[in-house]
Amino acid sequence: MSRTSFATFGNELYTGKRSYPFLAKRKLWFVIAAVAVLAALIIPVVKGGFNLGIDFRGGSEFTVSATDNTDTSIGEDAVTQVVSGAVPRVTNIATNTVRIQTEQLSDNETLEVRDNLVAGYGVDADQVASSFVGPTWGEDVSRQALIGLGVFVVLAAILMGIYFRTWKMSLAAMVALLVVMVVTAGLYSLSNFEVTPSAIIGFLTILSYALYDTVVVFDKIRENTAGITDSTKRTFAEQVNLAVNQTLVRSINTSVVAILPVASILFIGAFLLGAGTLQDLSLALFIGIILGTLGTLFIAAPLYAQLRINEPELRKQAERVQQRRELEAAPA
Amino acid sequence: MPRTGPGTAAKRTLVWLGALTALLAILLGAGTQWGSASWSPRLALDLEGGTQMILAPRVQGGSEITAEQLDQAVEIIRQRVDGSGVSEAEINTQSGRNVIVSLPGTPDAETRDLIQASAQMEFRPVLAGGPGQAPAAETPTPEDQLPNAPGEPQDASDPNWITAELYSEFETTDCLDPATLEPAVEAAPADQPMIACEPDTQGKYILGPVEVPGTDITTATYGLQRSSTGQALNTWAVNIEFNAEGTQTFREVTERLYAIGQGDPRNQFAIVLDGRIVSAPTTNAVIPDGRPSISGNFTEQSAAALAEQLKYGALPISFEIQSEQQISATLGADQLRLGLIAGLIGLALVAVYSMFQYRLLGLVTIISLLVAGVLTYLAICILGWTENYRLSLAGVAGLIVAIGQTADSFIVYFERIRDELRDGRNLVAAVESGWRRAKRTVLASKAVNLLAALVLYFVAVGNVRGFAFTLGLTAIADLIVVFLFTHPVMRLLAGTRFFGGGHPWSGMSSDTLNKIPLYRGAGQVREPGRPAAVAATRTRNKGASAEAERRLTIAERKRAEQEKTLAGRTGSSKKETNE
């Protein structure tokens, strides 16, 4: 889209000349969201849960970086020579990087496997990183994350309730947030992406991002619907829809600007660094930012309108708007 | 450019920002000059290389650990690590539940075991030995002269515990050898005598079996010694309080030791922690109430230290390794380099996109981001110096993610200004009223960001903290920048011909924004010859405009009519130029 037409696009959205039916078709969006949530809840059950990373299973992990030889059998041998009967998972996680995961090894075994890897892949001892995770660590991380989730949702709902002076905005925002979280989790299960503590960080950041996005759009809604009962220009629902349309250019710009750095981390992570903190984190964010933006537009705002549209005052106002329009429609 | 009004206020605000930045820079500069600060951030282990262990303290009996106990746990580990000769180790607590040990390089198996072992404090009676006997005996007693135990020991203080074998081991033990002084990984058997060193007095002792376990201590305090009349004396003392069981046993012990009489080493009892003697006081009285007081050549510091150590005894904490990560220095450097590359690529993409969206105004975004970057960098360096904050890979990721969230404040602001322009205000007025609205939105949305960062920081464990920290830090930097930089700069730019005049490259061009002036007086509003965007869009979106027209209100319809005439005029002039 060229520059002029993008600005024009913004102009038309602002005046209401171009308008997307975010509200009018809300039932459709809600049905889609409900189906997505349902699917996201069923998929993990059918698939038997998530692809949990080593932090949740417990075990030892070795990463051989900058090696020219990425033959996975070397890694397997390095482990089985030390612990016969072990079933190591050896994966080539990025260019020149091999990761070996196995059950928990003792200190001496860890050292021996390291030596084997150094010899087998012909690398310096420096290039082999090892880590070990106790079986309860992942539980710890996820329990704390869940507590964080709960605390944040409650505090954010209170904060929004105070700022917007209506609990209905809080409720709408939280419902949209939960949809985003559940669907993201479902996508993780569906695509078999590995769930690691870093992915959980990303997951929690989605909270911040999705709600941030909602607050910006809701602020415009608040502005547009202030004094609505004294106006017969547009109904409440129309004003809400206008607000969403007016902030659409911002929503697009924001998500593009937010996605760009995340995408660059994802790219670097996937092609150069291999699976690790950066990639896991950015993948969760990448999915979350897209879903978060959609959640605001298609769930939070329409749901807020839905919650308020039947208030007696707003009904009367909608009737007045209707009457005025009928009067005008009659030939002058 | 206006000399008064928004312009001067804007300049004043910019001066404040300059002063703030300079202040931070000077603070850091002073820190590098006279303190341990550095111009580069301190790096966490995953970027610097080394070993990081996350330990979960486990209290016997499975009860939850308190904050005080956790602090003591850190103290225990610090002493053990220091005792094992590892330098530059860092030990922190996290989320009130875990202890994080960061060590340079790879620790040996012994250091690892030591860190995990639970603290063992016990009270044992002294059988032989004393201060100043640390070195191994130069001329060991000939074998035939070694004491032989004639009978079975009757009580813990019985010299019959000392066998020939034990005595020769006692003589050959060198309490000056650092290897001997290392904290014991495994406790000596409780029902057997042992040889122990007292590093503080260069003492070496043979001790009887355990009489009172450290778990019998309820608490330990220190203070100025009181005379029998209750007056405070000028000497420091350490006060122990035993539980019921400890009180009972300790009374029996002191009855026996007191009866032995001063001058005999067997009058002493030793407080042993991790196989080392922390104190070996003599018994001056029978202690019937379970509240002994240790006095001697204490300074306030040494009394406090002993009281602390006695408290460990009351607290048999063991540690479970939750996760351990070993990263070589080269791999750490690699991760940092790639993280920075990712950040730069992200920044460049954001810069390109905002130039594409906002033309030269995109420069304001980029410069604002740079200013936010400088502030964040200074803050991280200063926090590294004062709070020992270390930047981890997750922290770097937080910084990169923050680029997008920071840029969004500017997007919100610019879009509000555009909205105001579309309503027909001139740029100076649009900047002011747009700011009033954008300010609210930015504050509310940043509050959500900060809240998320705070909750994550205080609740989460592991890597999450570093991430939450940078996320929160950048949210604050963003607020500072949008208030003290972006807005004043916009005020100044609004007064320039380039932006105020709505140059097509300014990103605030009135034509592309379909501006409909509220007031059309004698001044020229649209420059002749330039086709208005209105005309172009009208023809392109005929269907849409017809649909919109149907929906228009009276006021809107009137306005649209005015527009049409205007469009017609410019449209015909366009035709002329084309011909």
Please judge whether B350 and A220 are an interchain contact, meaning their C-beta atoms are less than 8 angstroms apart.
no
Kindly give, in sequence order, each residue whose CB lies less than 8 Å from that of residue B201, ignoring residues fewer than 6 positions away: B131, B132, B280
* Tens-digit pLDDT string for chain B (579 aa): 444 566 788 888 899 999 999 999 999 999 888 888 888 888 877 788 888 888 887 776 666 777 777 777 777 777 777 766 666 677 777 766 788 888 777 777 677 777 776 667 888 888 888 777 777 777 777 777 777 767 777 777 777 888 888 888 888 888 877 777 666 656 677 788 888 888 777 888 888 888 888 878 888 888 887 776 777 777 888 888 888 888 888 888 888 888 887 778 888 888 888 788 888 888 888 888 888 888 877 788 888 878 877 776 666 677 777 777 777 777 778 778 888 888 888 889 988 988 888 888 888 889 999 999 999 999 999 988 887 788 888 888 888 888 888 888 888 898 888 888 888 888 888 889 999 989 988 998 888 889 888 888 877 666 667 778 888 999 999 999 999 999 999 888 888 877 777 677 776 665 566 555 444 444 434 433 333 334 333 344 444 444 444 444 555 555 555 555 555 444 444 333 333
Q: What is the spatial distance between Cα A279 and Cα A265, in angstroms, rounded to a whole number?
A: 7
Query: Looking at residue B368, what is its pLDDT?
Result: 92
CA distances from B385 to A160, B65, B196, B379, B381 (A): 36, 30, 41, 10, 6
Please judge whether A204 and B452 are an interchain contact, meaning their C-beta atoms are less than 8 angstroms apart.
yes
- Among the partner-chain residues B323, B335, B553, the one whose CB lies closest to the CB of A134 is B323
Residue A211 with chain B: CB contacts under 8 Å: 448, 452
Identify each DSSP E strand in B260-397 by its residue range.
269-273, 276-279, 293-295, 317-327
**What tokens were used for B220?**
């330990």
Please give the residue of chain A at the shortest CA–CA distance from B321: A134
- Among the partner-chain residues A63, A201, A260, the one whose CB lies closest to the CB of B463 is A201
Burial A182-209 (b: 16+ CB within 10 A, else e): bbbbbbbbeeebbbbbbbbbbbbbbbbb
Please judge whether B444 and A144 are an interchain contact, meaning their C-beta atoms are less than 8 angstroms apart.
no
Our CA-based measurement puts residue B372 at a distance from the nearest CA of chain A, in whole angstroms, of: 16
Task: Name the phi and psi angles at B43, rounded to 5.
Answer: -105, 145
Cβ atoms within 10 Å, residue A106: 13
Please judge whether A3 and B356 are an interchain contact, meaning their C-beta atoms are less than 8 angstroms apart.
yes
Kindly give, in sequence order, each residue whose CB lies less than 8 Å from that of residue B411, ignoring residues fewer than 6 positions away: A250, A253, A254, A257, B354, B365
Please judge whether B328 and A129 are an interchain contact, meaning their C-beta atoms are less than 8 angstroms apart.
yes
Which of A106, A205, A224, A248 to mutate to probe the B interface, most B CBs <10 Å?
A: A205
Q: Which of A281, A184, A167 is nearest to B462 (CA)?
A: A281
Cβ atoms within 10 Å, residue B67: 10
**What tokens were used for A154?**
């409650």
Residue B185 with chain A: CB contacts under 8 Å: none
- Residue A130: pLDDT above 90? no
CB contacts under 8 A, B 179-238 vs A, are none
Question: How many CA atoms are closer than 13 Å to the CA of A19, on its beta-carbon side?
Answer: 21
Please judge whether A152 and B400 are an interchain contact, meaning their C-beta atoms are less than 8 angstroms apart.
no
Our CA-based measurement puts residue A65 at a distance from the nearest CA of chain B, in whole angstroms, of: 8
Burial A131-168 (b: 16+ CB within 10 A, else e): bbbbeebbebbbebbeebbebbbeebbebbbebbebeb
B330 touches chain A (CB under 8 A): yes
Please judge whether B327 and A163 are an interchain contact, meaning their C-beta atoms are less than 8 angstroms apart.
no
B408 touches chain A (CB under 8 A): yes
- Among the partner-chain residues B98, B320, B342, the one whose CB lies closest to the CB of A265 is B342
Our CA-based measurement puts residue A182 at a distance from the nearest CA of chain B, in whole angstroms, of: 18
Residue B104 with chain A: CB contacts under 8 Å: none
Please judge whether B397 and A282 are an interchain contact, meaning their C-beta atoms are less than 8 angstroms apart.
yes
Residues B207 and B124: beta-carbon distance below 8 Å: yes
**What tokens were used for B149?**
């135990």
Burial class (CB in 10 A: 0-12, 13-18, 19+), B573: middle
pLDDT tens for each residue of A29-81: 899 999 999 998 898 888 877 878 777 777 888 888 777 777 888 888 888 88
Our CA-based measurement puts residue A135 at a distance from the nearest CA of chain B, in whole angstroms, of: 8
Query: Looking at residue A149, what is its pLDDT?
Result: 84
Residue B331 with chain A: CB contacts under 8 Å: 63, 65, 126-127, 129
Give the H or E element holding residue B395. Answer: helix B393-422
Please judge whether A277 and B397 are an interchain contact, meaning their C-beta atoms are less than 8 angstroms apart.
yes
Residues B258 and B285: beta-carbon distance below 8 Å: yes
